[in-house]
Amino acid sequence: MPDTNRPGGSTAPPAAPRYASVSVATRDVHLSFGRHQVLRGVDLDVGRGETACVIGPSGSGKSTLLRTINRLVEVDRGDILLDGQSVRDRDPDRLRQDVGMVFQQFNLFPHLSVLRNVTLALRHLKRLSRDEAEEVALRHLDLVGLRHKADVRPGRLSGGQQQRVAIARALAMSPRVMLFDEATSALDPELVKGVLGLMADLASQGMTMVVVTHEMGFARQVADRVVFLDRGRVVEAGPPDQIFEAPRSPRLQRFLAQVG
């Protein structure tokens, strides 16, 4: 895969990097944990370079849906397509190199420096030399404004900084789609802004993103499409204007009133 997210040169105006994004579609996805039906026929369509925000009450299956896309959990029925190709036809480890994921709890590796957090997969999966991996890593740390923290352990960073390192770690692998699982839910309110700004930048640069979030303001402003998930089903989906200004289903109306 070509390294498409090379930063723009120093000449103004710098060209926005274009990510070799893919489209994401889920088709009639069913999934149960034991007797508990988590997903009950979910259809989702995210075009290349689009951002879809998945909203819904806790326990509605949002995070699980996200994990079916990179096969951290396997669907019982239905399919997931990246650019029309079923993820089931691909080796999970190869698939995951194309799908970046950012977690609610950051999940940085506490025993490694910030730099090593980013270089780990580059060295072991992309087989880059130490120098090459560090160059790529520093470029992406630059992107999230944390190059100066490269030698620090994650535990020394604030939650917001940790999450930005996690984003850099995912981006360094040149993913073709990014999954965000409540990326700001564990952050102190004053640190949320920086992470959301970074995500908005990424969206505007053409990365395909599936974002599970409780940040309605972000969904409203950044999403191309908002999907309201409740009890394992898509209750309503559409452009943000429609979802937030003219919700049709009573359940979405109730949900928006609660979080509003």
Q: Of 56-115, which residues contact another protein (CB under 8 A)? A: 58-64, 70, 72, 93-97, 99, 101, 103-105, 107-111, 113
The correct pick among 137, 170, 210, 211 for binding another protein (CB under 8 A) is: 170
Tell me whether residue 46 or residue 184 sits nearer to another protein (CB atom).
184
Q: How far is the CB of 28 from another protein (least distance, A)?
A: 19
Q: Rule CB under 8 A: say whether 37 interacts with another protein.
A: no
The correct pick among 41, 159, 238, 256 for binding another protein (CB under 8 A) is: 159
Stretch that binds another protein, among 21-29, 31-39, 74-82, 248-256 (CB under 8 A): 31-39
* Contact mark string toward another protein, 10..29, x via CB under 8 A: x--xxxxx------------
Residues 221-250, interacting with another protein (CB under 8 A): 221-222
**Residues with Cβ within 8 Å of residue 257, at least 6 apart in sequence:** none
DSSP-derived pairing of the beta strands 77-82 and 225-230:
unpaired
Q: In angstroms, rounded to a whole number, what is the distance separating the alpha carbons of residues 140 and 4?
A: 13
